[in-house]
A and B are shown apart, each in its own frame.
Chain A
Protein backbone atom coordinates (compact mmCIF):
# COMPACT_ATOMS: atom_id res chain seq x y z
CA UNK A 1 0.00 0.00 0.00
CA UNK A 2 1.21 3.46 -0.89
CA UNK A 3 2.37 5.15 2.31
CA UNK A 4 2.06 8.64 0.81
CA UNK A 5 -1.69 8.11 0.40
CA UNK A 6 -2.00 7.10 4.07
CA UNK A 7 0.16 10.03 5.11
CA UNK A 8 -2.17 12.52 3.50
CA UNK A 9 -4.94 11.61 5.88
CA UNK A 10 -2.87 11.75 9.04
CA UNK A 11 -0.30 14.45 8.35
CA UNK A 12 -2.30 17.00 10.36
CA UNK A 13 -2.24 14.68 13.35
CA UNK A 14 1.45 13.86 12.92
CA UNK A 15 2.45 17.52 12.64
CA UNK A 16 0.29 18.48 15.63
CA UNK A 17 1.91 15.70 17.63
CA UNK A 18 5.46 16.78 16.72
CA UNK A 19 4.82 20.46 17.45
CA UNK A 20 2.83 19.54 20.57
CA UNK A 21 5.87 17.67 21.83
CA UNK A 22 8.18 20.64 21.31
CA UNK A 23 8.06 23.95 19.32
CA UNK A 24 9.72 23.69 15.93
CA UNK A 25 10.43 25.50 12.66
CA UNK A 26 9.51 24.06 9.27
CA UNK A 27 12.53 22.00 8.46
CA UNK A 28 12.91 20.88 12.06
CA UNK A 29 9.39 19.42 11.89
CA UNK A 30 10.27 17.64 8.62
CA UNK A 31 13.33 16.12 10.25
CA UNK A 32 11.52 14.98 13.38
CA UNK A 33 8.76 13.35 11.34
CA UNK A 34 11.36 11.47 9.31
CA UNK A 35 13.29 10.49 12.43
CA UNK A 36 10.06 9.09 13.84
CA UNK A 37 9.82 6.76 10.85
CA UNK A 38 7.61 8.73 8.43
CA UNK A 39 10.41 8.83 5.88
CA UNK A 40 8.24 9.41 2.85
CA UNK A 41 6.80 12.65 4.15
CA UNK A 42 7.24 15.40 1.58
CA UNK A 43 8.93 18.65 2.56
CA UNK A 44 6.35 20.75 0.82
CA UNK A 45 3.50 18.81 2.42
CA UNK A 46 4.84 19.53 5.89
CA UNK A 47 5.33 23.23 5.16
CA UNK A 48 1.86 23.44 3.64
CA UNK A 49 0.31 21.61 6.59
CA UNK A 50 2.03 23.94 9.07
CA UNK A 51 0.63 26.93 7.17
CA UNK A 52 -2.87 25.50 7.14
CA UNK A 53 -2.85 24.61 10.83
CA UNK A 54 -1.52 28.09 11.57
CA UNK A 55 -4.15 29.76 9.37
CA UNK A 56 -6.80 27.57 10.98
CA UNK A 57 -5.81 28.81 14.44
CA UNK A 58 -4.32 25.56 15.75
CA UNK A 59 -0.77 26.86 15.93
CA UNK A 60 0.91 30.11 16.88
CA UNK A 61 4.22 31.26 15.50
CA UNK A 62 7.19 33.37 16.51
CA UNK A 63 10.47 34.27 14.85
CA UNK A 64 13.78 33.32 16.40
CA UNK A 65 16.85 35.22 15.17
CA UNK A 66 19.70 32.90 14.38
CA UNK A 67 23.36 33.86 14.32
CA UNK A 68 24.71 31.53 11.66
CA UNK A 69 21.65 30.97 9.47
CA UNK A 70 18.38 32.63 8.52
CA UNK A 71 15.84 33.79 11.10
CA UNK A 72 13.50 30.94 11.77
CA UNK A 73 9.77 30.93 12.12
CA UNK A 74 8.90 28.61 14.97
CA UNK A 75 5.48 27.09 15.42
CA UNK A 76 3.94 26.31 18.81
CA UNK A 77 0.72 24.50 19.60
CA UNK A 78 -2.06 26.47 21.30
CA UNK A 79 -5.21 25.44 23.15
CA UNK A 80 -7.24 24.89 19.99
CA UNK A 81 -4.36 22.83 18.63
CA UNK A 82 -4.21 20.68 21.75
CA UNK A 83 -7.97 20.08 21.61
CA UNK A 84 -7.64 19.11 17.95
CA UNK A 85 -4.69 16.88 18.74
CA UNK A 86 -6.66 15.12 21.52
CA UNK A 87 -9.74 14.66 19.35
CA UNK A 88 -7.73 13.38 16.38
CA UNK A 89 -5.72 11.07 18.60
CA UNK A 90 -8.99 9.57 19.85
CA UNK A 91 -10.24 9.09 16.30
CA UNK A 92 -6.93 7.59 15.27
CA UNK A 93 -6.89 5.09 18.16
CA UNK A 94 -10.38 3.79 17.51
CA UNK A 95 -9.61 3.63 13.77
CA UNK A 96 -6.39 1.65 14.24
CA UNK A 97 -8.08 -0.61 16.82
CA UNK A 98 -10.75 -1.40 14.25
CA UNK A 99 -8.16 -1.94 11.52
CA UNK A 100 -6.01 -4.10 13.82
CA UNK A 101 -8.98 -6.29 14.66
CA UNK A 102 -9.94 -6.55 11.03
CA UNK A 103 -6.46 -7.40 9.84
CA UNK A 104 -5.74 -9.62 12.83
CA UNK A 105 -8.84 -11.76 12.30
CA UNK A 106 -8.14 -11.78 8.56
CA UNK A 107 -4.67 -13.24 9.20
CA UNK A 108 -6.08 -15.91 11.54
CA UNK A 109 -8.63 -16.94 8.94
CA UNK A 110 -5.95 -17.14 6.32
CA UNK A 111 -3.67 -19.21 8.57
Chain B
Protein backbone atom coordinates (compact mmCIF):
# COMPACT_ATOMS: atom_id res chain seq x y z
CA UNK B 1 0.00 0.00 0.00
CA UNK B 2 1.65 3.25 -1.02
CA UNK B 3 1.81 6.46 0.99
CA UNK B 4 -0.68 8.36 -1.13
CA UNK B 5 -3.35 5.77 -0.50
CA UNK B 6 -2.52 5.58 3.20
CA UNK B 7 -2.82 9.36 3.42
CA UNK B 8 -6.11 9.32 1.54
CA UNK B 9 -7.48 6.67 3.87
CA UNK B 10 -6.41 8.69 6.90
CA UNK B 11 -8.03 11.82 5.50
CA UNK B 12 -11.24 10.06 4.65
CA UNK B 13 -11.39 8.33 8.03
CA UNK B 14 -10.76 11.59 9.86
CA UNK B 15 -13.62 13.26 8.00
CA UNK B 16 -15.98 10.37 8.75
CA UNK B 17 -15.00 10.43 12.44
CA UNK B 18 -15.52 14.18 12.56
CA UNK B 19 -19.01 13.71 11.15
CA UNK B 20 -19.73 11.19 13.92
CA UNK B 21 -18.08 13.16 16.73
CA UNK B 22 -21.43 14.12 18.25
CA UNK B 23 -22.44 10.52 18.96
CA UNK B 24 -22.17 9.08 22.48
CA UNK B 25 -18.81 7.34 22.99
CA UNK B 26 -19.86 3.66 23.02
CA UNK B 27 -22.11 4.06 19.96
CA UNK B 28 -19.36 5.83 18.09
CA UNK B 29 -16.69 3.28 18.96
CA UNK B 30 -18.84 0.39 17.84
CA UNK B 31 -19.79 2.21 14.65
CA UNK B 32 -16.26 3.19 13.61
CA UNK B 33 -14.06 0.42 14.99
CA UNK B 34 -13.15 -1.14 11.64
CA UNK B 35 -13.55 1.95 9.48
CA UNK B 36 -9.88 2.02 8.45
CA UNK B 37 -9.90 -1.70 7.64
CA UNK B 38 -12.91 -1.19 5.44
CA UNK B 39 -11.32 1.75 3.63
CA UNK B 40 -8.18 -0.29 3.07
CA UNK B 41 -10.15 -3.11 1.51
CA UNK B 42 -11.98 -0.71 -0.77
CA UNK B 43 -8.75 1.04 -1.77
CA UNK B 44 -7.00 -2.25 -2.45
CA UNK B 45 -9.84 -3.52 -4.59
CA UNK B 46 -11.24 -0.55 -6.41
CA UNK B 47 -8.37 1.75 -7.30
CA UNK B 48 -9.23 5.39 -7.85
CA UNK B 49 -10.27 7.82 -5.15
CA UNK B 50 -12.23 6.49 -2.19
CA UNK B 51 -14.92 9.11 -2.61
CA UNK B 52 -15.63 7.84 -6.11
CA UNK B 53 -16.63 4.48 -4.70
CA UNK B 54 -18.00 5.49 -1.30
CA UNK B 55 -19.22 9.04 -1.81
CA UNK B 56 -18.15 12.00 0.29
CA UNK B 57 -17.05 11.14 3.85
CA UNK B 58 -20.02 13.08 5.26
CA UNK B 59 -22.43 11.07 3.11
CA UNK B 60 -20.70 7.84 4.17
CA UNK B 61 -21.06 8.85 7.82
CA UNK B 62 -24.72 9.77 7.33
CA UNK B 63 -25.46 6.42 5.67
CA UNK B 64 -23.59 4.55 8.38
CA UNK B 65 -25.50 6.35 11.11
CA UNK B 66 -28.88 5.96 9.47
CA UNK B 67 -28.46 2.24 8.82
CA UNK B 68 -27.17 1.68 12.34
CA UNK B 69 -30.29 3.36 13.71
CA UNK B 70 -28.39 6.32 15.13
CA UNK B 71 -29.64 9.89 14.80
CA UNK B 72 -28.41 12.04 11.94
CA UNK B 73 -26.25 14.95 13.10
CA UNK B 74 -28.47 17.70 14.48
CA UNK B 75 -31.69 15.90 13.55
CA UNK B 76 -34.32 14.18 15.65
CA UNK B 77 -33.89 10.61 16.87
CA UNK B 78 -34.07 7.72 14.40
CA UNK B 79 -34.59 4.18 15.63
CA UNK B 80 -34.08 2.51 18.98
CA UNK B 81 -30.38 3.24 19.46
CA UNK B 82 -31.00 6.87 18.61
CA UNK B 83 -33.76 7.13 21.20
CA UNK B 84 -31.41 5.65 23.78
CA UNK B 85 -28.77 8.23 23.02
CA UNK B 86 -31.21 11.11 23.15
CA UNK B 87 -33.11 10.17 26.29
CA UNK B 88 -30.98 12.36 28.53
CA UNK B 89 -31.48 15.39 26.34
CA UNK B 90 -35.20 14.87 26.09
CA UNK B 91 -35.63 15.19 29.82
CA UNK B 92 -35.77 18.95 29.75
CA UNK B 93 -38.40 21.07 28.09
CA UNK B 94 -35.81 23.55 26.81
CA UNK B 95 -33.89 20.72 25.17
CA UNK B 96 -37.11 19.61 23.46
CA UNK B 97 -37.52 23.08 22.06
CA UNK B 98 -33.91 23.09 20.93
CA UNK B 99 -34.30 19.69 19.31
CA UNK B 100 -37.36 20.99 17.46
CA UNK B 101 -35.41 24.00 16.29
CA UNK B 102 -32.52 21.73 15.28
CA UNK B 103 -34.89 19.51 13.29
CA UNK B 104 -36.42 22.56 11.61
CA UNK B 105 -32.99 23.87 10.65
CA UNK B 106 -31.89 20.43 9.47
CA UNK B 107 -35.08 20.15 7.40
CA UNK B 108 -34.36 23.29 5.43
CA UNK B 109 -31.96 22.91 2.47
CA UNK B 110 -29.88 25.89 3.61
CA UNK B 111 -29.80 24.47 7.13
CA UNK B 112 -28.61 21.14 5.79
CA UNK B 113 -25.92 22.85 3.74
CA UNK B 114 -24.65 24.75 6.78
CA UNK B 115 -24.90 21.69 9.03
CA UNK B 116 -22.93 19.68 6.48
CA UNK B 117 -20.27 22.35 6.45
CA UNK B 118 -19.94 22.69 10.23
CA UNK B 119 -17.88 19.52 10.80
CA UNK B 120 -15.26 20.93 8.42
CA UNK B 121 -14.84 23.90 10.75
CA UNK B 122 -13.97 21.67 13.69
CA UNK B 123 -10.20 21.54 13.09
CA UNK B 124 -10.10 25.36 12.92
CA UNK B 125 -11.91 25.55 16.25
CA UNK B 126 -9.45 23.07 17.79
CA UNK B 127 -6.54 25.34 16.86
CA UNK B 128 -8.32 28.51 18.03
CA UNK B 129 -9.33 26.75 21.26
CA UNK B 130 -5.67 26.05 22.13
CA UNK B 131 -4.76 29.68 21.57
CA UNK B 132 -7.73 30.95 23.60
CA UNK B 133 -6.81 28.64 26.48
CA UNK B 134 -3.36 30.26 26.74
CA UNK B 135 -4.88 33.75 26.55
CA UNK B 136 -7.31 32.79 29.30
CA UNK B 137 -4.49 31.56 31.52
CA UNK B 138 -2.44 34.68 30.82
CA UNK B 139 -5.34 36.96 31.75
CA UNK B 140 -6.23 34.88 34.80
CA UNK B 141 -2.69 35.24 36.13
CA UNK B 142 -2.76 39.05 35.92
CA UNK B 143 -3.82 39.63 39.55
CA UNK B 144 -1.02 37.33 40.74
CA UNK B 145 1.91 38.96 39.03
CA UNK B 146 2.85 41.99 37.06
CA UNK B 147 3.70 41.46 33.43
CA UNK B 148 0.70 39.23 32.80
CA UNK B 149 -2.53 40.38 31.27
CA UNK B 150 -3.95 40.63 27.84
CA UNK B 151 -1.52 40.90 24.99
CA UNK B 152 -2.46 40.59 21.34
CA UNK B 153 -1.76 38.73 19.13
CA UNK B 154 0.93 36.83 21.07
CA UNK B 155 -0.15 35.95 24.63
CA UNK B 156 2.40 36.70 27.36
CA UNK B 157 3.08 34.25 30.15
CA UNK B 158 5.03 35.63 33.13
CA UNK B 159 5.60 38.66 30.91
CA UNK B 160 7.31 36.60 28.23
CA UNK B 161 6.04 36.44 24.67
CA UNK B 162 8.35 33.47 23.98
CA UNK B 163 6.81 31.49 26.84
CA UNK B 164 3.39 32.48 25.55
CA UNK B 165 4.29 31.26 22.09
CA UNK B 166 5.58 27.93 23.41
CA UNK B 167 2.52 27.45 25.58
CA UNK B 168 0.32 28.22 22.58
CA UNK B 169 2.06 25.57 20.49
CA UNK B 170 1.59 22.97 23.25
CA UNK B 171 -2.02 23.98 23.88
CA UNK B 172 -2.93 23.84 20.18
CA UNK B 173 -1.37 20.39 19.86
CA UNK B 174 -3.27 19.22 22.94
CA UNK B 175 -6.52 20.70 21.73
CA UNK B 176 -6.23 19.04 18.32
CA UNK B 177 -5.40 15.74 20.02
CA UNK B 178 -8.48 16.08 22.22
CA UNK B 179 -10.60 16.95 19.21
CA UNK B 180 -9.43 14.01 17.12
CA UNK B 181 -9.88 11.64 20.00
CA UNK B 182 -13.54 12.58 20.24
CA UNK B 183 -15.51 13.56 23.32
CA UNK B 184 -15.51 10.10 24.99
CA UNK B 185 -17.87 9.30 27.89
CA UNK B 186 -20.63 11.48 29.31
CA UNK B 187 -18.45 13.00 32.05
CA UNK B 188 -15.76 14.09 29.64
CA UNK B 189 -18.39 15.28 27.20
CA UNK B 190 -19.92 17.62 29.75
CA UNK B 191 -16.47 18.82 30.82
CA UNK B 192 -15.46 19.49 27.22
CA UNK B 193 -18.71 21.31 26.54
CA UNK B 194 -18.22 23.54 29.59
CA UNK B 195 -14.60 24.22 28.62
CA UNK B 196 -15.57 25.08 25.07
CA UNK B 197 -18.28 27.44 26.28
CA UNK B 198 -15.87 29.16 28.69
CA UNK B 199 -13.31 29.65 25.93
CA UNK B 200 -15.98 31.04 23.64
CA UNK B 201 -16.63 33.65 26.37
CA UNK B 202 -12.90 34.39 26.46
CA UNK B 203 -12.98 34.90 22.69
CA UNK B 204 -15.82 37.40 22.98
CA UNK B 205 -14.09 39.20 25.85
CA UNK B 206 -10.93 39.38 23.77
CA UNK B 207 -12.80 40.91 20.85
CA UNK B 208 -14.37 43.51 23.15
CA UNK B 209 -10.97 44.30 24.67
CA UNK B 210 -9.40 44.57 21.23
CA UNK B 211 -12.18 46.84 20.01
CA UNK B 212 -11.76 49.06 23.07
CA UNK B 213 -8.01 49.41 22.86
CA UNK B 214 -8.21 49.97 19.11
CA UNK B 215 -10.53 52.89 19.73
CA UNK B 216 -8.44 54.51 22.47
CA UNK B 217 -5.23 53.96 20.53
CA UNK B 218 -3.21 52.13 23.19
CA UNK B 219 -2.78 49.05 21.05
CA UNK B 220 0.78 48.85 19.81
CA UNK B 221 0.87 49.74 16.16
CA UNK B 222 4.26 50.55 14.61
CA UNK B 223 2.82 53.17 12.28
CA UNK B 224 1.40 55.11 15.20
CA UNK B 225 4.40 55.13 17.50
CA UNK B 226 5.91 58.31 16.14
CA UNK B 227 2.70 60.24 16.13
CA UNK B 228 1.47 59.26 19.55
CA UNK B 229 3.37 60.97 22.33
CA UNK B 230 0.65 62.67 24.31
CA UNK B 231 0.10 66.45 24.49
CA UNK B 232 3.35 68.32 23.93
CA UNK B 233 4.14 71.81 25.03
CA UNK B 234 7.45 73.57 24.97
CA UNK B 235 10.67 71.90 23.89
CA UNK B 236 11.86 68.34 24.22
CA UNK B 237 15.17 66.64 23.63
CA UNK B 238 15.11 62.84 23.44
CA UNK B 239 11.65 63.04 24.97
CA UNK B 240 12.96 64.94 28.03
CA UNK B 241 11.42 68.29 28.80
CA UNK B 242 13.63 71.32 28.24
CA UNK B 243 12.67 73.90 30.82
CA UNK B 244 15.21 76.58 29.92
CA UNK B 245 17.81 77.38 27.27
CA UNK B 246 21.19 78.84 28.10
CA UNK B 247 23.10 80.17 25.06
CA UNK B 248 26.91 80.47 25.22
CA UNK B 249 29.37 82.14 22.89
CA UNK B 250 32.43 80.45 21.39
CA UNK B 251 34.50 81.35 24.41
CA UNK B 252 32.07 79.70 26.80
CA UNK B 253 30.60 82.95 28.09
CA UNK B 254 26.88 82.87 28.84
CA UNK B 255 24.78 85.16 26.66
CA UNK B 256 21.84 87.11 27.94
CA UNK B 257 18.83 88.42 26.05
CA UNK B 258 19.03 86.04 23.09
CA UNK B 259 15.78 85.61 21.14
CA UNK B 260 15.17 82.17 19.72
CA UNK B 261 12.92 81.65 16.69
CA UNK B 262 12.17 78.56 14.64
CA UNK B 263 12.42 78.05 10.86
CA UNK B 264 9.23 80.09 10.41
CA UNK B 265 10.33 82.94 12.60
CA UNK B 266 7.95 81.93 15.37
CA UNK B 267 9.18 82.21 18.94
CA UNK B 268 10.72 79.07 20.43
CA UNK B 269 9.40 78.68 23.91
CA UNK B 270 10.95 76.28 26.38
CA UNK B 271 8.75 74.31 28.73
CA UNK B 272 8.58 76.73 31.60
CA UNK B 273 5.76 75.13 33.49
CA UNK B 274 5.65 71.96 35.48
CA UNK B 275 9.12 72.24 36.94
CA UNK B 276 8.73 71.51 40.60
CA UNK B 277 11.31 73.79 42.16
CA UNK B 278 11.93 76.47 39.55
CA UNK B 279 9.49 79.34 39.38
CA UNK B 280 9.55 80.97 35.98
CA UNK B 281 9.54 84.68 35.63
CA UNK B 282 8.53 85.67 32.15
CA UNK B 283 9.31 89.26 31.14
CA UNK B 284 6.58 91.44 29.68
CA UNK B 285 7.08 93.70 26.66
CA UNK B 286 5.94 97.35 26.31
CA UNK B 287 2.40 96.22 25.53
CA UNK B 288 2.25 93.96 28.55
CA UNK B 289 2.56 90.74 26.52
CA UNK B 290 4.76 87.87 27.66
CA UNK B 291 8.12 87.56 25.95
CA UNK B 292 8.52 83.84 26.23
CA UNK B 293 11.36 83.23 23.81
CA UNK B 294 14.03 85.37 25.39
CA UNK B 295 16.77 83.05 26.54
CA UNK B 296 17.72 82.28 29.06
CA UNK B 297 14.62 82.76 31.10
CA UNK B 298 15.35 83.98 34.56
CA UNK B 299 14.15 81.24 36.80
CA UNK B 300 13.84 81.43 40.52
CA UNK B 301 14.53 78.72 43.02
CA UNK B 302 12.54 78.56 46.20
CA UNK B 303 14.86 77.73 49.08
CA UNK B 304 14.04 75.95 52.32
CA UNK B 305 13.08 79.24 54.00
CA UNK B 306 10.63 80.04 51.18
CA UNK B 307 12.84 82.78 49.71
CA UNK B 308 13.01 83.21 45.95
CA UNK B 309 16.35 83.58 44.30
CA UNK B 310 17.57 83.16 40.72
CA UNK B 311 18.39 79.57 39.83
CA UNK B 312 21.90 78.44 38.88
CA UNK B 313 23.40 78.80 35.42
CA UNK B 314 24.83 75.54 34.07
CA UNK B 315 28.48 75.39 33.11
CA UNK B 316 29.52 75.03 29.52
CA UNK B 317 33.01 74.25 28.21
CA UNK B 318 33.24 75.17 24.51
CA UNK B 319 34.75 72.55 22.19
CA UNK B 320 38.44 73.13 21.33
CA UNK B 321 38.79 75.27 18.20
CA UNK B 322 39.23 76.01 15.48
CA UNK B 323 36.02 74.42 14.16
CA UNK B 324 36.01 73.11 10.61
CA UNK B 325 33.61 71.31 8.29
CA UNK B 326 34.32 67.56 8.00
Supply 10 further A-B pairs (C-beta < 8 A) apart from A27-B37, A44-B60, A69-B37: A42-B55, A44-B54, A44-B67, A45-B63, A48-B66, A51-B31, A54-B30, A69-B40, A70-B37, A72-B37
Q: What count of chain B residues pass the 8 Å CB interface test?
A: 26
Q: Which chain A residues (1-40) contact chain B, with CB distance < 8 Å?
A: 11, 25-27
**A→B interface (CB under 8 Å):** 11, 25-27, 42-49, 51-52, 54-56, 69-73
B contact residues around A72 at 8 Å (CB):
34, 37
**Judging by beta carbons under 8 Å apart, are A43 and B38 in contact?**
yes
B contact residues around A70 at 8 Å (CB):
34, 36-37, 40
Per the bound structure, the CA–CA distance linking A48 and B70 in Å amounts to 9
B contact residues around A56 at 8 Å (CB):
80
B contact residues around A43 at 8 Å (CB):
38, 42, 53-54, 60
Q: Does B33 have its Cβ within 8 Å of any Cβ on chain A?
A: yes
Contact of B64 among A11, A27, A47, A73 (CB under 8 A): A47
Among A26, A44, A51, A56, the most chain B Cβ lie within 10 Å of the Cβ of: A44
B contact residues around A11 at 8 Å (CB):
67
Contact of B31 among A42, A48, A69 (CB under 8 A): A48
One digit per residue, 1 when the CB lies within 8 angstroms of any chain A CB and 0 when it does not, for chain B 94-112 equals: 0000000000000000000
Contact of A44 among B34, B63, B69, B79 (CB under 8 A): B63
A contact residues around B66 at 8 Å (CB):
45, 48
B contact residues around A45 at 8 Å (CB):
63-64, 66-67
Does more than half of chain B's interface fall in helix, strand or loop, or is it mixed?
helix
Contact of A48 among B34, B42, B54, B68 (CB under 8 A): B68
Q: Which chain B residues (76-97) contact chain A, with CB distance < 8 Å?
A: 79-81
**Judging by beta carbons under 8 Å apart, are B37 and A48 in contact?**
no
Per the bound structure, the CA–CA distance linking A48 and B64 in Å amounts to 5
Per the bound structure, the CA–CA distance linking A69 and B36 in Å amounts to 11
**Judging by beta carbons under 8 Å apart, are B33 and A73 in contact?**
yes
**Judging by beta carbons under 8 Å apart, are A52 and B42 in contact?**
no
Nearest Cβ in chain A — how far from B98, in angstroms?
Answer: 26
A contact residues around B55 at 8 Å (CB):
42
A contact residues around B79 at 8 Å (CB):
52
**Judging by beta carbons under 8 Å apart, are B38 and A47 in contact?**
yes
